[in-house]
Structure 1
Amino acid sequence: MRRGPTFWIVLLAVAAAALGLWLEYRRQHPSQIDGVTIAVVGDMAPDATWLSTDGKPRPLKDWRGKKVLINFWATWCGPCRQEMPLLSAAAKGASDHGVMILGVAEDIAPAVRAHLLKDPVAYPIVIGASDAPGGSLSFGNTRQVLPYSVLVGADGRILRRKMGTFSEAELAEWLAP
């Protein structure tokens, strides 16, 4: 069967469109930025180790076996500070269902400690750098906005990601057993 020129033009157009879609997807979902590997939903969470507010290492694997809602925030981020009381109230009930809330401050330790003295929360806070392994970038925050949250399953896989603050209903859905 001989194929006419229309067939080849259509085939070339489809191939070009597929390549364009793939390139746009890779641009919006890069696998690496500045040497930091970017995890996506379904991937294992990065092998992150942060520092507690008193300087002790806290690896993410300490919470393996539980679902962990990781909330990246900073003291200079107004929406982050507004969201913290909601997260704090939710943390009390979530731990009864095997879900842990963890705050990762992408900030300097003295500012974090001062903020927590003034406005304590009912969930652990650790300190990390945004562009380091374990920073929000490695968890998929390619737009570098805060707050940024990630839900990690008990098996260590990333289940969900969110840019921006939670509503009460949305947070309840994320924390449901």
Structure 2
Amino acid sequence: MKPIGYVVVALVAAAAGFGIYQFALAPRAVELPQVANETNGSAPAQDAAEGDSDDGLPEILPDFTLANLEGQPQSIRSWTGKSMIVNFWATWCAPCRREIPLLNKIQAEHGAEGFQIVGVAVDFREDVLKYAKEIGIDYPLLIGEEDGLEAVTKFGRGSLGFPFTVFTDNQHRLVLFHLGEIHPEQAEVMLATVRRVNAGELTPAAARAVAAKQLQELPAAKE
């Protein structure tokens, strides 16, 4: 067990060790406002200048800076002109580990059309570096412990389970918020929805309603 000597407001009342830290953020059922079928959370911690949408999501991808794989600070907004897929995860989270091959595939197949996955590992840096090297992650990673948890608070009210993923258009407007493991059929719906926003066919708010209907029609994902 690795001790963490800090207090995380709203997410962890008092983190006395890695076990408490893990328990506080492990994927589980949580009471969060519903924002379309694929979404189970909303974000209160957003700059007032950018504002929130009517359904509680921040309109623009909230800015935060964490260390990248090389140990250099990097802003999540440094990928300009890209449709972002920002995936929050941790090495101890089984659903997080399961969806990494799919995220690798999405990056390989859709990176050329402007989609950019960034994994945000809320975990101990040495654990992330070791795991990323072992399995191979083909997209950029940002890594943080307390600062990673602070980034999480910009997307949800109260504690959120892992993984969760936000999708933006190419202007960094938030389009979709997904809590839980992403499955291939869901990914297809969400990527297609972002494309329609980029093409000017849908606003982000309208896109959430369209995606919700399509996701509800999908067969239940097998665990």
Relative to the length of structure 1, the TM-score reads: 0.73
SS of residue in 1 equivalent to 2:60: coil
Q: Is contact 2:42–2:57 with CA below 8 Å preserved after alignment?
A: no
Structure possessing the higher radius of gyration over alpha carbons: 1
The answer for the alignment partner of 1:106 in structure 2 is: 122
The answer for the alignment partner of 1:55 in structure 2 is: 71
CA distance in 2, matches of 1:30, 1:103: 19
C-alpha deviation, 1:151, in angstroms: 0.8
Q: How does 1:1-177 map to 2 (within 5 A)?
A: 31-32=44-45, 40-41=56-57, 43-128=59-144, 129-132=147-150, 135-140=151-156, 142-176=158-192, 177=195
CA distance in 2, matches of 1:67, 1:29: 19
Identify if the C-alpha distance between structure 1 residues 94 and 142 changes in structure 2 by more than 3 Å, giving closer, same or farther. Answer: farther
- Which letter does structure 2 place at the counterpart of 1:139? F
Q: State the 4+ residue runs in structure 1 displaced beyond 4 angstroms.
A: none
The answer for the alignment partner of 2:209 in structure 1 is: none
Q: Which has the higher helix share?
A: 1
C-alpha deviation, 1:141, in angstroms: 6.2
- Which letter does structure 2 place at the counterpart of 1:94? H
Q: Is contact 1:94–1:175 with CA below 8 Å preserved after alignment?
A: no
SS of residue in 2 equivalent to 1:172: helix
CA distance in 2, matches of 1:169, 1:29: 23
CA distance in 2, matches of 1:30, 1:75: 24
The answer for the alignment partner of 1:18 in structure 2 is: none
C-alpha deviation, 1:55, in angstroms: 0.8
Identify if the C-alpha distance between structure 1 residues 157 and 137 changes in structure 2 by more than 3 Å, giving closer, same or farther. Answer: same
- Which letter does structure 2 place at the counterpart of 1:83? E
Percent identity over paired residues: 28
SS of residue in 2 equivalent to 1:41: coil
Identify if the C-alpha distance between structure 1 residues 141 and 117 changes in structure 2 by more than 3 Å, giving closer, same or farther. Answer: farther
Q: Is contact 2:43–2:57 with CA below 8 Å preserved after alignment?
A: no
Identify if the C-alpha distance between structure 1 residues 72 and 109 changes in structure 2 by more than 3 Å, giving closer, same or farther. Answer: same
Listed as ranges, the gaps of 5+ residues in structure 1 are: 1-23, 33-37
CA distances 1:117-154 after superposition (whole Å, capped 9, x unpaired): 1111111111134432xx22212364320000001222
C-alpha deviation, 1:41, in angstroms: 2.9
SS of residue in 1 equivalent to 2:154: helix
Count of aligned pairs between the two proteins:
146
The answer for the alignment partner of 1:4 in structure 2 is: none
Relative to the length of structure 2, the TM-score reads: 0.59
